[in-house]
Structure 1
Amino acid sequence: MSEKFFNLLLLLHIVGGSIGLLCGILVFILKKGTKTHANLGKLFIFGMLLSGVTAQVMAILHPNTFLFMVGVFTIYLVGTGARAIFTKSSRSIHSIDRFLQFGMVLAGLALIYLGIAGVMGGNNFGIVYIVFASIGLLMAVQDIRSASKHSHDKKAYVRKHLQRLGGGFIASATAFLVVNLRELPDWLPVWVLWLIPTLLISPLISFYSKKYKAASL
């Protein structure tokens, strides 16, 4: 029964991730601010959250730190990005926001511990956990502090929305490449897979962030 349940979760994880990746690509390519963009964005959020939640459950049933990390970042980044556009505010003061923030803090601290333990045990991949967990902790602390600040920047929530959803897409695309592209040419190091989505998508996120920043002045 447990294996059947796990296989069902795996199927839902693949379906959610596929929906998220496809819609994420289209969201970046197509014109922003249209009804099509909004509908694709909703499908993207649904797919990514489905993928993230199922990843968390699978990582618990069959202990897998990498899958756990992917699930944590997917839920946090997509969740906070969705909340920003839903509330039209860059502040994070709702109980849902607090749940996401403290969940990221707890998971981040756990990942840093596992990363340090891995490095001390001779597994340099633990550095990946430490780096990603540190980034997540910094964002969570930033969100926690935002609750007490009133921003006069009317477009701050738009930038937060696209930056967090863009980050969620990068995390998902990176996990997809790392998991599925196992046979690499000898001249191509594995760490390249961890950088490709970031190198390709980060410039787009930066471009749109600057665009909305200019529009708010």
Structure 2
Amino acid sequence: MAFVSASVLALSVFDPNPFRQFLALVAVFVFYFVFSGYRVLSRKRVTDRPAFVDWAATVLLVGAGVGLSGFGVTQLLSGSGFGTVMFVFSGIALGFGSNGIQQFRQGVSDPRAWFYGHLSRMAGGYIATVTAF
């Protein structure tokens, strides 16, 4: 997934158009889900405290959510219904990003939170990948 996300980002730089830029933001979205799903297990094994990479990935996701919101507004104002799709992805990204920041700051009390976090993020990455494809 890291290679797929990096290749989409490279394509959006070399051939910039609104659809490729949307896919680049979705690539960040997908990478976050898969990466954070993996990191949930890593933190469970070593320590439950988030590292710098966990914070960086979450902040990047929030940035992608804001970017998707901006694209959604421009698409809707231009008369394209595709802006609705961007708003859906944006809402999911901002929701997961704010939830991640809240969990990093406050911690979690459920001993099975690692399982739910891993499952939901890996499933989210799969769904977002299939949707983008």
2:7 & 2:34 partners in 1: Cα distance?
14
Q: Is the contact between residue 108 and residue 137 of structure 1 (CA under 8 Å) also seen in structure 2? A: yes
Measured after TM superposition, the shift of residue 136 of structure 1 is 0.3
1:170 & 1:144 partners in 2: Cα distance?
22
Give the SS at the match of 2:124. Answer: helix
Kindly provide the amino acid, as one letter, of the partner of residue 86 in structure 2: Y
Q: Is the contact between residue 88 and residue 158 of structure 1 (CA under 8 Å) also seen in structure 2? A: no
Partner of residue 14, structure 2: 61
Kindly provide the amino acid, as one letter, of the partner of residue 52 in structure 1: S
TM-score normalised by structure 2 residue count: 0.88
Measured after TM superposition, the shift of residue 60 of structure 1 is 2.0
2:72 & 2:4 partners in 1: Cα distance?
23
Partner of residue 72, structure 1: 28
Q: Is the contact between residue 34 and residue 121 of structure 2 (CA under 8 Å) also seen in structure 1? A: yes
Measured after TM superposition, the shift of residue 92 of structure 1 is 6.3
Between 1 and 2, higher relative CO (CA 8 Å, sep ≥ 6) is seen in: 2
Q: Is the contact between residue 25 and residue 67 of structure 2 (CA under 8 Å) also seen in structure 1? A: no
Partner of residue 147, structure 1: 104
Kindly provide the amino acid, as one letter, of the partner of residue 92 in structure 2: I
Q: Is the contact between residue 62 and residue 93 of structure 2 (CA under 8 Å) also seen in structure 1? A: yes
Structure 2 matches for 1:77-88, cutoff 5 A? 77-88=33-44
Measured after TM superposition, the shift of residue 100 of structure 1 is 0.6
1:92 & 1:112 partners in 2: Cα distance?
30
Kindly provide the amino acid, as one letter, of the partner of residue 107 in structure 2: H
Gapped regions of structure 2 (runs ≥ 5): none
Gapped regions of structure 1 (runs ≥ 5): 1-47, 177-217
1:127 & 1:113 partners in 2: Cα distance?
12
Alignment size in residue pairs? 128
Measured after TM superposition, the shift of residue 135 of structure 1 is 0.8
Runs of 4+ in 1 over 4 A off after TM superposition: none
TM-score normalised by structure 1 residue count: 0.55
User: RMSD of the alignment, in Å?
Assistant: 1.6
Kindly provide the amino acid, as one letter, of the partner of residue 85 in structure 1: L
Q: 1:92 to 1:68 in 2, by over 3 A?
A: farther
Structure 2 matches for 1:83-98, cutoff 5 A? 83-88=39-44, 93-98=50-55
Measured after TM superposition, the shift of residue 70 of structure 1 is 2.5
Work out which of the two has the higher radius of gyration on C-alpha atoms and give 1 or 2: 1
Q: 1:103 to 1:150 in 2, by over 3 A?
A: closer
Residue 88 of structure 2 is aligned to residue 166 of structure 1: no
Q: Is the contact between residue 29 and residue 64 of structure 2 (CA under 8 Å) also seen in structure 1? A: no
1:92 & 1:73 partners in 2: Cα distance?
22
1:150 & 1:50 partners in 2: Cα distance?
31
